[in-house]
Amino acid sequence: MDIHFTLNGEPVRWEVAPGETLLEALRAHSFYGVKDGCSTGDCGACAVIVDGNPRNSCVMFAFQVQGRTVLTIEGIGNPDKLHPIQQAFLDLGAAQCGYCTPGMIVTAKALLDRVPDPTPDQIREALSSTLCRCTGYVKPAEAVMQAAKVLKGDGHGAKNPR
């Protein structure tokens, strides 16, 4: 079946199988930033933003994004122009193995789009949809806070602020 949707700002038409998950479809089209950690919607490594809301793409069928807007890590920033959340993850050492990092950044983006001035608790609540086994969530939570400041314009995005 054919689906039409907006992916990272571009209109696309993909042929997908009826039972194909959005995760499978994205990876089949080389969107490798979307990771498979459990296939059951529990770990958040496959998170993408659908119409502004974070969604686990492993428990959505690809056809469900027909006519909708999807944002993946690839659409948030790129090596030449990092998004402030990506820059903060880089500067603070918030990515260790990096497997859950795209999911965390996507989740953080969805949070900051809705709540530009989050409390530490709101950040932890949002990040709790992504499982990480490397960082203890300490530096990711700090990075989201720093990115929020940069996005509001009252941070300097200073490299290695320590």
Partner 1 sequence: MEPRILGKGVSKVDGVKLVTGRGGFTDDFAIPGMLYARTLPSPHAHARILRIDASKARALQGVRAVLTHEDVPRIPFTTAGQGYPEPSPYDSVLLDRKVRFVGDRVAAVAADTLAIAERALSLIDVEYEPLPALFDPEKAMEPDAPKVHDEKDTTGIHDRTRNLAASVEAQVGNVEQGFAAADLILERTYRVPHVQQVPLEPHICISYLDEDGRLVIRTSTQVPFHCRRTVARILGLPVGRIRIIKPRVGGGFGAKQEILLEDICGALTLAAKRPVRLAMTREEEFSRSRTRHPQVIRLKTGVTKEGKLTANEMTVVANTGAYGGHALTVQCCTGSKPLSLYKCPHVKYQAHAVYTNLAVAGAYRGYGCPQGYFAVESQMDELAQALQLDPIEIRKRNMVGLGDSLPMAEVLGEGKEGFHQKIESCGLSTCIEKGAHAIGWSEKRGKPGRGPILRGVGAACLMQGSAIPGVDMGSAYIKINDDGSFNLQVGATDLGGGSDTIFAQITAEVLGISPEQVVVYSSDTDLTPFDKGAYASSTIYITGGAVKKVAELIGEQIVKVASGLLSRNQSDLRFNDGSVVAPDGASVTLAQVAQHSFYTQDQFQIQATASHMSYACPPPFAAQFAEVEVDAGTGLVRVVKFVTAVDCGKVLNPPLAEGQIEGAVAQGLGYALTEELRFDEKGRIVNPNFTDYKIFTARDMPEMKTILVETHEPTGPFGAKSVAEIGINGPAPAVANAVFDALGIRFLELPITPEKILKALKERAPQEAIA
**Contacting positions for partner 1 (CB under 8 A):** 27, 30, 32-40, 42-43, 45, 72-74, 77-79, 82, 86-87, 89-93, 95-102, 105, 123-128, 130-141, 159-160, 162
Q: Is the CB of 79 or the CB of 153 nearer to partner 1?
A: 79
Strand, helix or coil for residue 138: helix
- Contact between residue 23 and residue 36 where contact means Cβ atoms under 8 Å apart: yes
Q: Which is nearer to partner 1, 67 or 88 (CB)?
A: 88
Could you tell me the smallest distance in angstroms from the CB atom of residue 88 to partner 1? 9
Shortest spacing between CB 76 and partner 1, in angstroms: 8
Residue 132: closest CA among 140, 122, 121, 142? 140
* 59: Cβ contacts below 8 Å, ≥ 6 apart: 21, 40, 41
Minimal distance, residue 42 CB to partner 1, in Å: 4
Nearer to partner 1, 32 or 51 (CB): 32
CA dihedral 106, 107, 108, 109 (to 10 degrees): 50
Q: What is the dihedral of CA 87, 44, 46, 24, to 10 degrees?
A: 180
Q: How many CB atoms lie within 10 A of CB 104?
A: 30
Q: Which is nearer to partner 1, 65 or 95 (CB)?
A: 95
Instruction: Provide, rounded to whole angstroms, the least separation between the CB of residue 162 and partner 1.
Output: 6
